Structure formats: C-alpha cells, structure tokens
Amino acid sequence: MESIRSSSGVFWEIWQAAVDRFQASDLPTSLATEHSGADELLKKLFFNTYWVNETYNREPLQRNVHRIPKFFEFLPPSHSVLSAYAYFLYTVGAITLPQPLVAITAKLEGQKHSSLLAGETVFYLERILSRLIHSSPTNILACGEVHTAILFLLDKLIEQGSSTAYKLRDDFITPRE
C-alpha cells in the first residue's frame, strides 16, 4: 500500500511539472488555432485517454482533484479546452461535479462565438447534465451558482440545436414531487 501512495505522489509531481511547463510555454495561446499540437498534450493532461475505465483506482485522483480545476481556470477559452475538460468530467472527473459547471459557465460567459460548444463537447455536457438532473438530490442543484450554471449551459446547448438539452431544461425547471 505504501508503494501505491508513493507512486501516486510521484505521478502527481510529474503531472504538476508537465502542467507548469505547459502554462509557462506559448502552448495555451495556440489552443485556439485549428489542429494545434498543443491539443494532444492538453488531452493527456486532462486524462483524455482510453486506459481509464470503471476499475481505475480513483483514490489518488480524489486526493489531488483540486489540481485539475485550477489548470482549467488558467487556460484561455477554446473549443479544445472545453472539449478536453468536458471529457474529463464525463469520465473520471465526474466525482468533482457539480461545481466545475460553474467554471465552464465562467469560460463561456461573454464569448460571442458559440463555436466553443460543438461536436463532442455538446455530447459530453448533455450526458453530464442528464446524470446530474436525473440523479442528484434537489438540494445540490438548487445551490445558487450551480443552479445558474446549469441553466446557462442548457441554454447554450439549446442554442447549438440540442434537443436533449431542451428536454433536460424542461425536467430541470419543472418542480419534482
């Protein structure tokens, strides 16, 4: 057990060093350009890999989960940033929900182009919001900023033509019995 803890600590030290180098480089500014090489590294830093499955030991992630939202908040708004973070939240990052939705909303507010939400990002957010709306206790989702963020995201997804978001919004605003 001690070796697992120490290897987990080393992993997070390496992850943090990679994030620090990424942030100090010019890579964050290149994320807004189509097909930049930074996209692939960004996906790895947000654990967008297929080796993560249901049997993955999430305890090390839970102890270090505060690192990932800080990294997301540092990054400029772009399609690749939102896509990578949404995938993280859809998979192993689901344990951090619903609070990250507030950060996603903050990235999207004031953005004139709705192209930040497209393709797979819409899919992941639909699934995340569906899980939350249909399975979370009402008191969690009634929290002021979380409630506002969910409505904002649903509206943005509806603007993108998401019929799923339209149905979810109806479920969300309709009082539960």
115-141 mean pLDDT: 88
Cβ–Cβ contacts within 10 Å for residue 173, how many? Answer: 11
> In this predicted structure, what is the pLDDT of residue 2?
47
Segment of 61-65, 111-115, 124-128 carrying the highest mean pLDDT: 124-128
pLDDT at 11 over 50: yes
Mean pLDDT (the chain, rounded): 85
150-171 residue pLDDT tens: 999 999 999 999 999 999 999 8
| Choice between 56 and 88, residue whose per-residue pLDDT is larger | 88
Per DSSP (E only), the strands in the chain are none
Band (58; pLDDT cuts 50, 70, 90): low
Q: Are 117 and 156 in contact (CB under 8 A)?
A: yes
pLDDT score of 104 more than 90: yes
pLDDT at 75 over 70: yes
* pLDDT(71) > 70: yes
Q: How far apart are CA 14 and CA 8, in angstroms?
A: 10
pLDDT for residue 163: 95
Percentage of the chain lying above the pLDDT 90 cut: 51
When pLDDT is cut at 50, 70 and 90, the band that residue 86 belongs to is very high
Question: Is pLDDT of 41 > 50?
Answer: yes
What is the reported pTM?
A: 0.87
Q: How confident is the model at residue 1 (pLDDT cuts 50, 70, 90)?
A: very low
Within 10 A of 39 (CB to CB), how many other CB atoms are there?
A: 20
Contact 46, 77 (CB under 8 A): no
